[in-house]
Amino acid sequence: MPIHLTTLNRRRFLQAAGAGILLYGNNGQASEAVDVDADLVYLLNDTHIGEKQPDDSAVPTHLRQVVTELVNRPTKPVCVLINGDLALKDGQPGDYRHFAKLIAPLQKAGVDTHLTLGNHDHRDVFYEILTEQRPEKPAVESRHIAVVEAQYANFFLLDSLQKTMVTQGTIGTQQLAWLASALDCLQTKPAIIVAHHNPRLGGDPLHFPGGLIDSRELWNVIGPRKWVKAYIHGHIHDRTYAEHQGIHILNTPATSYVADPKTSTTGWTTAQLTANGVTLTTHTTDAQHPWNSESKTLTWRSA
């Protein structure tokens, strides 16, 4: 049976340059019911939830840990962004049912939750199970995209899923055209791009082969638009900070597992926004890890 998740408190539709933009954010009623920090965003990625994973195994336990921590906070974030590879391997229906069960407390707590897709997801199955995520009129056919509004930034959520179980990602010409129009429509706040795949620019070239194929085409769009300040990704199951053409490239830790526990760990990230930048704080599932509660403050490039 499909699972219905109602996560969006306010929807504002903008039409500009032929690009349909559905802008999500909090309304007054939600703020009255829940004490919301309009500058705080939770970042998760690579949850890799599988249908047959026991509830007490590490991977679902990690996601449950962050959900529990979040819903127990007296002050909630303006939103939670879960950035791709929601499913374990190839996006089976049971994966999304289990995933929906684990994040259900976020809905019950009134926390806006937004999802992107990665190479281990299956777009059609995702829409079949999480039916509320399917847009009535998609801005770009066969892409799951959105714009999420916070007080000090707009988050542009892109779909870099090329094909299920194909490691490399793509944005594609249609989505790039939509992004250009959407960015031009929303210039009054800093823009932060969110997609699952790492770009093949900035960062460690070791990870370029499995990254975003059309990275240069993407940067041709976002580089000259000085109100674009950062690009957030997962995919690598590590934590790194890089920069290209003044745009911060932020690789946040995986929630599920890591390839090498000697060099990385699992966790999630909080982003505390200001008018001029962001402070990123790493929260690790292992409370004793040296990364736990470690913060890094970044300043946005000038306009």
Residue 294: CATH number of its domain: 3.60.21.10
- Tokens 């982003």 found at: 271
pLDDT at 33 over 70: no
pLDDT at 248 over 80: yes
pLDDT at 26 over 60: no
pLDDT, one tens digit per residue, over 79-95 is 999 999 999 999 999 99
pLDDT, one tens digit per residue, over 264-274 is 999 999 999 99
238 belongs to a structural domain: yes
What pTM does this model have? 0.92
243 belongs to a structural domain: yes
Beta strands in 150-211 (DSSP E): 154-157, 191-194
Phi first, then psi: give them for residue 45, nearest 5 degrees: -160, 160
29 belongs to a structural domain: yes
Q: What is the mean pLDDT of residues 207-222?
A: 98
Burial of 92 from C-beta contacts in 10 A (0-12 / 13-18 / 19+)? middle
Q: What is the mean pLDDT of residues 213-233?
A: 98
Total domains, the chain: 1
Contact 183, 227 (CB under 8 A): yes
Question: At 297, is the secondary structure helix, strand, or coil?
Answer: strand
pLDDT, one tens digit per residue, over 39-70 is 999 999 999 999 988 766 788 999 999 999 98
129 belongs to a structural domain: yes
4 belongs to a structural domain: no
2 belongs to a structural domain: no
130 belongs to a structural domain: yes
Q: Which domain holds residue 68?
A: 10-299
The number of residues making up the chain comes to 303
Alpha helices in 25-163 (DSSP H): 28-33, 58-71, 93-108, 123-129
pLDDT, one tens digit per residue, over 137-159 is 888 999 999 999 999 999 999 99
**Percent of the chain residues topping a pLDDT of 70:** 88
141 belongs to a structural domain: yes
